[in-house]
Structure 1
Amino acid sequence: MTIKEVSEYLKLAEKTAYRLAAEGKIPGFKVGASWRFRKSEIDRWITAQERGEA
């Protein structure tokens, strides 16, 4: 997923998604200068947030 896709999926502003990714608060990785996210990792992160883990 791209930063735009993950921000839409999480209902966040793109700027917020960039900040969370840069701070390591959401699971993602950079390909060159672009952030990429695996949907399965984002879903796992959401589950952990719901459980109060993080």
Structure 2
Amino acid sequence: MANFEDRWLSVDEISKYLGVSGDTVYRWIDKHSMPAHRMGRFWKFKKDEVDTWVKAGGAADRPDKSNTEQ
């Protein structure tokens, strides 16, 4: 039987796992290089890649250069 622990997760599943909204997940993909893989029009995630990214501080807020430059 296939190991379902290592399956690809959807945006809804990864957002529930992380306790954030789907909009936050999309923002992290765009602005914080969240590890995500595009499959057609859908984004898919590997839980272990996301865990590593979070532990490395990937989801931490960073100052946006466009807001600080005048």
TM value normalised by structure 2: 0.63
Larger Rg: 2
The answer on 1:16 being equivalent to 2:18 is no
Unaligned stretches of 5+ in structure 1?
none
Stretches of structure 2 lacking an aligned partner (at least 5 in a row): 1-8, 61-70
How far did residue 49 of structure 1 move? 1.1
SS of corresponding position for 1:44: helix
Q: In the alignment, what sits opposite 2:57? A: 49
Greater helix proportion: 1
TM-score by length of structure 1 reads 0.78
Change (3 A) 1:5 1:29: same
Number of aligned positions between the proteins: 51
Q: Could you say what the CA RMSD is over the residues aligned between the two structures, in angstroms?
A: 2.0
Q: In structure 2, what is the equivalent of residue 28 of structure 1?
A: 36
In structure 2, distance between residues paired with 1:11 and 1:30:
22
